[in-house]
């Protein structure tokens, strides 16, 4: 259960990071509200996962999921380009997250 909560929390990290960028310095109310709700939910989920997973592993997986999905969202929204180098680095990051799960 902790792993599932951690994965969802990592996904919410990508939501709040994207909303933070869209909030334009907290000047836009809708994205700011999404940011606050997603950030709180993401942190609560991370805290829950850390009750049964090692802190370093949980945090690294949470950040990795959030980082990869934030880039994917930016590419889908055509805010960033996906180059070969970025793709390879994201694959390495995903492999690292999977590896951390495997050795836990």
Q: Which two tokens stand for residue 96?
A: 């690292």
CA distance 28 to 11: 22
What's the pTM value of the predicted model, to 2 decimals?
A: 0.87
pLDDT (0 to 100) of residue 98: 84
Supply the pLDDT for residue 49: 97
DSSP 82: -
pLDDT at 102: 83
Both tokens of 85, joined, read 């180098």
Average confidence (pLDDT) per 10 residues, the chain, 104 residues: 96 97 96 98 98 93 93 93 93 88 80
Report pLDDT for 99: 86
∠ Cα 30 58 33 (to 5°) = 10
pLDDT at 89: 93
In the structure encoding, which two tokens stand for residue 39, read together?
Answer: 């950030």
């Amino acid at each position: 259960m902790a792993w599932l909560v951690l994965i969802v929390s990592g996904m919410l990290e990508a939501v709040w990071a994207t909303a933070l960028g869209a909030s334009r310095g907290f000047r836009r109310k809708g994205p700011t509200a999404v940011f606050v709700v997603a950030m709180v939910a993401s942190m609560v989920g991370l805290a829950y996962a850390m009750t049964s997973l090692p802190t370093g592993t949980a945090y690294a997986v949470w950040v990795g999921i959030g980082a990869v999905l934030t880039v994917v969202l930016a590419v889908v929204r055509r805010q960033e380009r996906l180059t070969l180098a970025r793709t390879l680095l994201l694959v390495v990051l995903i492999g690292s997250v999977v590896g951390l799960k495997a050795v836990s």
